[in-house]
Amino acid sequence: MKALAELSDAHLILLAVQLCINGDVSALPRLLSQFHGTPSADIFFRIILTFLPESTEPSRYISVLESLANGSAPQPAEEDHDIDIASVGELSTSAARKEVQRLHLLPLRYPGHAEDEPGSPLVQFLIHRAHRIDSESGLQLFIIELLQPFIHISEYLQTWAISTALPLLRFNYEYHCENDVALTLEIIQSLDSGSAVNILLSKTDRRDRGGNVGRDLSGLVGPWMYGHAKSKRRKLNQLEHSGSISIFDNRNPSSGSRTSGWQDVNEWLLSTSIRDFPLAIEAVEQWSGPEDIDLGGYDKPERLVLSNDETQLALNYGQAALAAIYATTEATPETLDGSCRILSRIASLLEIPGHSALRIFENELEPLNLDLTALSDISRGAILHNSLLEPSNPLTFPTTHSISFTDAILVSVRTLSSLGHAISCRSAVDICLLASDEMQLSELRSVFETLRRDRRPGCDWRKIRVQLLWLRDWGYSDQSKEHEAKPRPGHGLFWRVPLVLLEGDILKAMLNAREYALAVELYAKTLTSSPLPPAQIETAVTESIFASYDNATNGNKTRGGIKRASEMLESFGPYFPHSKSFRQIKALISATHSLSFYSLTLQHGVPFQPVSIRVHHDALSLIGKVLEQNPKAYTELDNLIAIGRHLVTAGFPARPRDDDDPMHTNAPPSREEELLASDHRIISLSISAALESNDFDTAYSYVLTRLAPPSISSNAAIAKGDDVSWRAAYNAGRHRSNIAEPTNKPLQSQILRLSQRMELLSLALILAPSPENLPEILAVWRRCDEEMTSLRARESAEAENWDARGDNMTSSSNLPGGFGPSDAELDALETERAKRSRTGHAKRTSRLAGGYEEAPMGLFEVARGAAQAISKTAFPLRGSESVVTAASSAGRASTDSRRISMDTIGTEEGSGGEGGAGGRVRKRDVVSSMVTGRLASGLGWVLGAQPVNNNNANANANVDG
């Protein structure tokens, strides 16, 4: 058998292959020393790489690799017998060469590495061997065991091990060992920076879920970025040496290489803040930025504290953290707290001047005076997601001004949250810098709405007012000692809202919260030093009262919204004694309270609510509905009149306005005229309700006691445009009961009711404002007169019949022991009856002759024609002295008639005398004289005839003479 020294180089190569196949590589250095040519370790590295099983523990051949790389001295000769050369000793040299030629050895350089990458054969072998172990056996722990002894012999190997193998092993075996799918060297080495960040942080989670984002950033992303940055820098240096770096113009190549990969980390932080803001908070708190890298002790990261690159990386990271604050749209207390922690962490990490004076963790609201010149012309695009990381964005790029502004925004958000109105920082910036006047006012009103809706007991409204005023300008007006300081753009969340408007809304909110005493103390007690002008205070209080009034469901002023409205009025009324609006509100509340005692339902079954009064075009018509729905309400006339007067005092018209009515085109009526019109309208409604209930006596009483004028002169002054009173009297005068009357009703009762109706018709003639209404009234009067004539005829017939029956009974009395009148007595009785009959007949004949001899035609024909003729001129009953005289007498007759006891009407008892002095005095005659006298006077004035009364007077004088 040949000795080891006698073997050719081909035999030695085949023997090395055999030893690697058997897993015994310890003799490879001796075989290398036996080479006859120039010894090269490359061939043995390739043999090991190709034939040594990947499952072989690295500890078994690390020393061999060191010996091969160092070219150590061969072992002593006596150890030759330890090497079994039988497998190759029988081969000839030519056969051995042929076997060597058939070997397919792997190259030292891994196919995925570029040809120009530096590295010794050992480094290339180690990298290729690591890939083979990963791909063939999956025993990734052998990789670091293989690389660790040699990691410091080459910067390239060190960089590759730190940036590739270290993140791989940490991700698969240390940080996220529970993953089903493990990373490989092939995958991690082929990633770009963006993909590497996303994959290495794909399993990162919050601490409460078992995650540790700071560890992953410093232990996974940091090492990968370490190697990525060095590789980029090395390539750029090569370009610089080759003269092709000119494509970068004036840019710093080192800066471009270092910031490009870390910018992907910033993008990840920004996107994470949108997806999982608590995770972004932990990332900022646990990781200090690109300086915070864990290389596992294999190297120390470069700390170029004074270099521009390092400063730029830190600023970019700080910008990403600030961008995370503005990117989230969540408005929870946890989000606010996390945003404050991010700001504090970044301000401290970057050592921003004034970072120790942040107000986000202070309870008191101190005035702020910020320089926001850089933010004054910011556009809406600055808060878009793709613009938050732009270095030119003044909102997120870390500076003293941006940190101070963010601090003010966070304090504002915290203040709004304490008021129950939560918004995000993004929304706050939008309101502060980009919102218009209307948008800021709308957001402020939503804050007040939140305070109104979420009313909490024990709220300190004095403190709430201070907070709202601070939110407007961040205390700038207080700091400048100017109550009306000019607002500074962007300096305050609601800086566009006028201070007076804000104070007015605060006052309304206090009133809504029933803080009446505080509101009076702050705004009304000392009007000269009040934050609001008196007119603004009155307006705000009025609007608050009406808001409570309109929302009330019951009109009773001891409950609900009407009670609150009354309390506001009582609190502020003494400080505004001459306020017209307060006086109207007081009257409105009184009317509403009185109406609440009646049952009232509007259309479609909707129950009455106080707001129905304010929205109704004719508020007094609601009293008509009260009368319709409450059967006996018309008996409470005084209460209804008081309600109407309160409504008129509250500013509602006594009658509905009609633009086509010429009466409403003139000057508006005075308050006295409106009150009188309201009284007459309500009396009329009550009369109609009484008539609907067949209560004629009440209607008759209301007409005579409420509508009848005391004199004709006063009636002329108040009846202007009154189209209600006369119609009420007219309706009562023509009323007939819709209930069937008994057939045996006394004739005297019928005459009494008819005389009352005729009296009402005569009053309607007096109250009628226009001659156009006369025919209508007179037509009813004629029918009543005819009926009265018929009833009187029946009365006379019955009286004569009764007298005749009495005479017959007297004359034919044959009772035993009876004493009849003597003949002289019978003659005297018959003479008296004849005289009475002649006297009554003469009076009727004289009255009929005197009343119609003066007229050239029928009375009603004259009235009908004259009414049409004189409608174009002044109505004579209102203008002439004769008319006044006639009307006065008619008025006196009407007044006197009310004083006559109804029991005496129709009696025929007289004192007796000449000239009819002892004749019958009947109410019908009084009414007839009043009506015919007024009509005849008016028509006679038109026709040029002498008044009837004068003729009668002359006739009476002639008779007396």
Angle between helices 774-811 and 747-767 (to 10 degrees): 160
- Looking from the CA of 133 toward its CB, the CA atoms found within 13 Å total 21
Enumerate residues 6+ apart whose C-beta is below 8 A from 21: 51
Query: Binning pLDDT at 50, 70 and 90, where does residue 928 land?
Result: low
The two tokens of residue 215 are 């560890």
Identify the pLDDT of residue 819.
57
> Which is more confidently placed, 249 or 32?
32
What digits encode the pLDDT tens for the residues 476-511?
775 554 444 566 777 899 999 999 999 999 999 999
pLDDT of amino acid 307: 58
935-946: string of b/e by CB count within 10 Å (b at 16+)? bbbbbbbeeebe
How far does Cα 732 stand from its chain's mean position? 54
Position 904 scores a pLDDT of: 35
pLDDT digits (tens, 9 = 90+) for 238-290: 544 444 433 334 334 444 444 568 999 999 999 999 999 999 999 999 999 99
For residue 637 the two structure tokens come to 């006339």
* pLDDT value at residue 99: 87
Q: Please check the confidence at residue 891 and state whether its pLDDT lies above 50.
A: no
CA distance 147 to 296: 14
44-58, 328-342, 565-579, 853-867: least confidently modelled range = 853-867
**Cβ contact 623:678 at 8 Å:** no
Predicted pLDDT at 920: 45
Q: What pLDDT score was predicted for residue 528?
A: 86
Q: Which of 906, 927, 575 is nearest to 763 (CA)?
A: 927
**3-state secondary structure (DSSP) of residue 233:** helix
Mean pLDDT across the stretch 695-715?
Answer: 79
Q: Could you tell me if 149 and 70 are in contact, meaning their C-beta atoms sit under 8 angstroms apart?
A: no
* CA distance linking residue 807 with residue 827, whole number of Å: 12
Taking residues 915-922, report their average pLDDT.
42
Q: Is the pLDDT of residue 755 over 70?
A: yes
| pLDDT tens track for 611-665 | 999 999 999 999 999 999 999 999 999 999 999 999 999 999 988 866 555 555 5
**Selected residue with higher pLDDT from 821 and 183:** 183
**Is pLDDT of 724 > 80?**
yes
Q: What is the mean pLDDT of residues 424-430?
A: 95
What local confidence, expressed as pLDDT, does residue 937 receive?
A: 52
Per-residue pLDDT tens over the stretch 806-835: 777 655 555 555 555 666 766 777 777 777
pLDDT at 28: 86
pLDDT in tens, 453-462: 887 777 899 9
Is pLDDT of 894 > 50? no
- CA 567, 569, 574 angle in degrees (round to 5)? 115
Select the more confidently predicted residue: 371 or 253. 371
Is the predicted pLDDT of residue 446 greater than 90, yes or no?
Answer: yes
Q: Which residue has the higher pLDDT, 65 or 856?
A: 65
Give the pLDDT confidence score for residue 856 in this predicted structure: 43
Handedness of CA 370, 371, 377, 380 (dihedral sign): negative
Per-residue pLDDT for 762 more than 80? yes
Domain segments of the chain as ranges: 4-101, 191-303, 455-465+475-657
Q: Is the pLDDT of residue 910 over 70?
A: no
DSSP conformational letter for 283:
H
The residue ranking higher by pLDDT, 957 or 523, is: 523
- Average pLDDT of span 578-602: 94
Residue 124 has pLDDT above 60, yes or no: yes
Give the DSSP letter of residue 180.
S
Note the residue count of the chain. Answer: 961
pLDDT in tens, 85-107: 777 777 888 888 898 888 889 99
| β-strand partners of 601 | 607
- What's residue 709's pLDDT? 75
Determine contact, residues 49/111, Cβ cutoff 8 Å: no
The answer to whether 217 and 289 are in contact (CB under 8 A) is no
Q: Which pLDDT value is given to residue 952?
A: 47
Position 267 scores a pLDDT of: 95
Rounded to whole angstroms, the Cα distance separating 142 from 178 reads 20
**pLDDT greater than 80 at residue 77:** no
What is the chain's mean pLDDT, rounded? 80
- What confidence category does residue 871 fall into, taking pLDDT thresholds of 50, 70 and 90? very low
The angle that helices 461-473 and 499-512 make with each other, rounded to 10 degrees, is 160
**161-170, 192-201, 913-922: the lowest-pLDDT one:** 913-922
| Percentage of residues in the chain having pLDDT higher than 90 | 47
Per-residue pLDDT, 486: 63
Residue 881, class by beta-carbon neighbours within 10 Å (0-12 exposed, 13-18 middle, 19+ buried)? exposed
* Across 376-402, average pLDDT: 91
Mean of the pLDDT values across residues 28-53? 85
Q: What is the pLDDT of residue 566?
A: 96
CB 487 within 8 A of CB 465: no
Average pLDDT for residues 323-348, to the nearest whole number?
A: 94
User: What is the maximum alpha-carbon separation in the chain?
Assistant: 206
